[in-house]
Structure 1
C-alpha cells in the first residue's frame, strides 16, 4: 500500500513539472521551431538528437547560435556550486 501511495505521489509531481512547459514533443524541424528554448526542450526532454547534428550539445544552431549564445540559461545546483568555489 505504501509503495502504491509513493508511486502515485511521484507520478503527480513529475507530471506537473513537465506540464508547466509551453512545449510538447513533436516532429518539428528547426525551421519550424519558434525559439532556441523550444529546440533545447526537444533535445533534452524529448531526446530528439537529430536536432544536434554535430553532437556539441547545441540544437538548431540557426536558432541557438553556433556557440550556443542564444541558449536559455540553465538553473542548476552545479552552477551555484561553481560560483562558490571562486
Structure 2
C-alpha cells in the first residue's frame, strides 16, 4: 500500500453529496485526526476549484481517500448541486 502524507493531493473514493463532491474529486490532505473512541481515524481535506480557490474543508475516514498515481489524469467538472 502507498503511504499517504500531509499536503499530498488525494482522490475521494466516495461521493460526499452534502459538500457537492463526487468520487474521484481531488483534494489536499491537510491533517490527520484520531477517532475520539475506537473507530477509524480521519483525514482533513481541503478542496480547491479549478482556479485554485478553496471551496471546502471536509473530514473523511482514512479509507475514503486514495493517493493519485502517475497513470491518472485530472479533469474538470462543473460544481453543481447533486
TM-score, normalised with respect to structure 1: 0.22
Of Structure 1 and Structure 2, which has the larger fraction of its residues in helix? Answer: 1
More strand by share: 2
Which structure ranks higher in relative contact order (CA pairs < 8 Å, sequence separation ≥ 6)?
2
Higher Cα Rg: structure 1 or 2?
Answer: 1
